[in-house]
């Protein structure tokens, strides 16, 4: 039973346009959300996070939006660049410290030049 | 910067062999994790550890065991490797009681079992 769902396995976007990656969760106890980016043959790297007390967090070209009532978050990348082509994982946490993150299955983003 | 290192980037083993995957982190993190990544299945948690000599089963512990004798080192053991254990294995660590819960990942070990 997936608690964190990324329903789009892949996404293609033209360079310079906006990329929107979506993530849904089912557990209302989750209160902290993270996005990771993974290139082939490398480990995932942390990209951006958001606490449930916020509805938006921005870091350069990356913005994460959180809609708690819909249990939905999205990652916006604008403008998209070819170097953004990677697999993006959404992750959620319900408690600090000891609880492992719960990951979605990932979305493969391809930015076409 | 946190650094998580894994002993091998690529490994080829035969069915039935005992396989050790080593992971070391240098930031004094209490928590360490082992995942495997397979196409279409995302990151699946195998085992994790909150402290030295502590271990907890993740979502897919069958066929694996772990060892944490020192805080900085977390080993994943395949007692008798099978072809369905061919995968990318990722180790991660995090600071306990960190509200951010950010996990830092190693570069991964691509294991092929023939």
**E strand or H helix that includes residue B105:** strand B104-105
Higher pLDDT, B2 or B24: B24
Cβ–Cβ below 8 Å for A105 and B90: no
CA distance A24 to chain B (A): 15
pLDDT in the model for residue A2? 81
- Identify all chain B residues contacting A99, using CB atoms and an 8 Å cutoff: 101
A78's tokens: 């604008």
Of the candidates A45, A93, A103, the beta carbon closest to that of B43 is on: A103
Closest residue on chain A to B100 (Cα): A96
A57's tokens: 């967090």
pLDDT in the model for residue A22? 98
pLDDT in the model for residue B1? 67
Closest residue on chain A to B58 (Cα): A100
**pLDDT band at residue A97 under the 50/70/90 scheme:** low
CA distance B17 to chain A (A): 24
Cβ of residue A40 closer than 8 Å to a chain B Cβ: no
Count of pairs with CB atoms under 8 A, one residue in A, one in B: 61
Measured in whole angstroms, the distance separating CA B20 from the mean position of its chain's CA atoms is 10
pLDDT in the model for residue B99? 54
pLDDT in the model for residue B95? 83
Burial class (CB in 10 A: 0-12, 13-18, 19+), A92: buried
Q: How large a percentage of chain B has pLDDT more than 90? A: 76
* Strand positions, DSSP E, B26-103: 31-38, 42-49, 56-57, 64-70, 73-78, 87-94
pLDDT at residue B84 above 70?
Answer: yes
Closest residue on chain B to A87 (Cα): B42
Q: How far apart are CA B2 and CA A100, in angstroms?
A: 18
Cβ–Cβ below 8 Å for B101 and A93: yes
Query: A19-70, pLDDT tens digit by residue?
Result: 999 999 998 889 899 999 999 888 999 999 999 999 999 999 999 999 999 9
Cβ of residue B32 closer than 8 Å to a chain A Cβ: no
Torsion of CA B109, A86, A94, B48, to 10 degrees: 0
Q: How far apart are CA B65 and CA B107, in angstroms?
A: 21
Cβ of residue A8 closer than 8 Å to a chain B Cβ: no
Average pLDDT across chain A, whole number: 93
């Amino acid at each position: 039973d997936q608690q964190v769902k990324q329903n789009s396995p892949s996404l293609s976007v033209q360079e310079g346009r906006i990329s929107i990656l979506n993530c849904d969760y089912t557990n209302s106890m989750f209160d902290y959300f993270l996005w990771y980016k993974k290139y082939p043959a490398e480990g995932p790297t942390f990209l951006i996070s958001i606490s449930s007390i916020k509805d938006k967090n921005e870091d350069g070209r990356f913005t994460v939006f959180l809609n708690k009532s819909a249990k939905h978050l999205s990652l916006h990348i604008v403008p998209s660049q070819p170097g953004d082509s990677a697999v993006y994982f959404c992750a959620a946490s319900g408690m600090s410290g000891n609880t492992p993150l719960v990951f979605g299955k990932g979305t493969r983003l391809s930015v076409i030049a | 910067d946190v650094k998580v290192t894994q002993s091998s980037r690529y490994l080829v083993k035969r069915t039935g062999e005992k396989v050790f995957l080593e992971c070391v982190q240098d930031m004094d993190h209490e928590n360490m994790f082992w995942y495997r990544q397979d196409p279409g299945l995302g990151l699946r948690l195998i085992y994790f550890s909150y402290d030295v000599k502590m271990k907890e089963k993740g979502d897919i512990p069958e066929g694996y065991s772990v060892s944490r004798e020192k805080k900085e080192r977390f080993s994943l053991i395949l007692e008798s490797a099978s072809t369905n254990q061919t995968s990318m294995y990722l180790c991660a660590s995090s600071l306990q009681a960190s509200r951010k819960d950010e996990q830092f990942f190693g570069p991964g070990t691509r294991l092929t079992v023939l």
